[in-house]
Amino acid sequence: MPGARPHRNCETDSMRRGVPPIRVLVLGAAVLLAGVAGAAAADEMTAFVRTSPRDARYFELTDGRPYVPIGLNIVQPPYPYKDLGAMATWIENLAKGGGNFIRIWMGAKYFDVEPERSGRYDPAKAQRLAELLALCRTRGVRVKMCIESFRTLKGGKEWSRKPMHLVENGGPATDAADFFAGQAGRQQFKRKLAWLADRFADEPAVFGWELWNEVNCVRGADWYAWSEVMLAELGRLAPKNLAMQSLGSFDRAGARDMYRRLVALPGNDVAQVHRYLDLGAALEVCRGPVDVLAADAVREILAMNPGRPVLLAESGAVEPSHTGPLKLYAKDNAGIILHDVLFAPFFAGAAGPGHIWHWDHYVATNDLWWHVARFAEAVKGIDPPAEGFTPGMIQHPRLRMYTLVGKHTFLAWLRDTKNTWQTELADGQPPETIRGAALTLPAALPGLEAARVRTYDPWQNRWMPATVTDGRVPLPPFQRSLVVRVDYKR
């Protein structure tokens, strides 16, 4: 079972590893004076994340508490990559609102532990990773550690190539295909995994290890065979941590078979999917409303019966065919794209909200961190593994009604079909106020006569009591979206 790997009992001896003990690091310019909330978060960061044995579609901590990964991608600090700087501020803003998750690229310039020579690892970069993890621990944030991201050994853009791995440069491979399939290339990557695991596999702030960013984009590589070998190696070296792999954006029909192989890959603990709003995408769904494309991606992966948690691990909006961030981001001061990326996946059956990509061009620039707090508030106190949620939809002439029916709780996220990125951002139409609408509850919900019924407006951060009349919940006036929660067994 994914997530059921035995946990080794290892003596944590950070000095033996050549990295100062993470718990006592001083962060220099990024010193964080944690307040009461930060101290409480740090106190909770002793358990590891695992697939829940109560319901393999969701996560929990090794002490049995539920864990919903609420956050986004934050690859590295901004240029000139000298210190954590703004990244520390981003993490602080995320944590203030209840965020508890980020994803980094360990192959990005600031964190790259193998910066100059193939197989030669930089302890100073390990120190940077240690500082990041220490910061995240104080704020209750766990980190997905994406190990590699290059796509070729020669040619391509600077960020996407690693010529150091070529034989002529002292590396183990003649090209990318050889790096993945050749014995020398594989052994070298295994040594890198061992080097990283020796330093960080006992760190609870590590959410898990992701082998590669969009591994199918590596030119000429047999990603499946390589991933099978390296996931097994990760499972052996870091049994306390989740292990996973990722593919490129699910934006064409041909990606379906690749994703089917990925989600069933042995040792792949998380069924991840990437999908963006992209007017250059082959799939029509990727050119429509963001909530629809996000929910559809999750449903596609769930239909493949992965038997493990599903996450929309990268999302957002791009110019056609990923030629840059969507220019309309500049108009999205309300954050409707981020809102849909957060809410739609979870209410479609994912193990958490979607994780948006453009943390700098969009989230930080438009100061949209408050959206994370609104999602965290909407699911506060929910234990997904205990609920055993069944996702569904309720038909309505004006609203897309995403529902989760659990053992103790019914949740619904209602999205105005007339309000989309196209209408509000491209066409400049303000959202309409929906009045007089009602939600018809599923007939099988138990104990409605004693249920607690509430609505939550994530745009106003407002809970309101509601009632059930003849199986219907009258809704207060709202714009864009609304959450309905029914606790029918306390």
Give pLDDT tens digits for 19-49: 433 333 334 333 333 333 444 465 579 999 9
Residue 16 domain flag: no
- Both 132 and 258 in a single domain? yes
Q: Are 363 and 333 in contact (CB under 8 A)?
A: no
The model's pLDDT over 2-14, given as tens digits with 9 standing for 90+, comes to 334 433 333 233 3
In a domain, 134, yes or no: yes
CA 3 to chain centre: 17
Domain limit, last residue, from 318, 353, 385: 385
Considering the domain architecture, whether residues 146 and 30 belong to the same structural domain is answered as yes
479-to-38, 40, 334, 403, 476 alpha-carbon distances in Å: 33, 35, 12, 19, 10
CA distance 266 to 244: 10
- Same structural domain for residues 366 and 431? no
- Domains held by the chain: number: 2
Mean pLDDT across the chain: 91
In a domain, 202, yes or no: yes
Place of tokens 């989230």: 363
Q: Do 181 and 276 share a domain, yes or no? A: yes
Q: Are 297 and 336 in contact (CB under 8 A)?
A: no
Looking at 39-53, 267-281, 400-414, which range is the least confident one? Answer: 39-53
Q: Report pLDDT digits (tens) over 306-364.
A: 999 999 999 999 999 999 999 999 999 999 999 999 999 999 999 999 999 999 999 99
Do 380 and 416 fall into the same domain?
no
CA distance 343 to 352: 9
User: Domain range for residue 437?
Assistant: 390-487
Q: What percent of the chain has pLDDT over 70?
A: 91
Contact between 73 and 355 (Cβ < 8 Å): yes
Do 386 and 408 meet the contact criterion of CB atoms below 8 Å apart?
Answer: yes
The answer for residues whose C-beta is within 8 angstroms of residue 265's C-beta and 6 or more apart is 224, 227, 228, 231, 245
CATH of the domain at 424: 2.60.40.1180
Q: Partners of 106 in the beta sheet?
A: none
Asked whether residue 15 is domain-assigned, the answer is no
- What's the rounded Cα separation, in Å, for the pair 36 and 43? 11
Give the pLDDT confidence of 406-465 residue by residue, as tens digits: 999 999 999 999 999 999 999 999 999 999 999 999 988 988 888 999 999 999 999 999
- Residue after which a domain boundary falls, among 385, 419, 434: 385
Q: Which two tokens stand for residue 246?
A: 């990722």
Q: Residue 26: what pLDDT?
A: 35
Task: Give me the DSSP letters along 64-75.
Answer: S-EE---EEE--
Domain boundary among 326, 359, 385: 385
Q: Residues 379, 426: one domain?
A: no
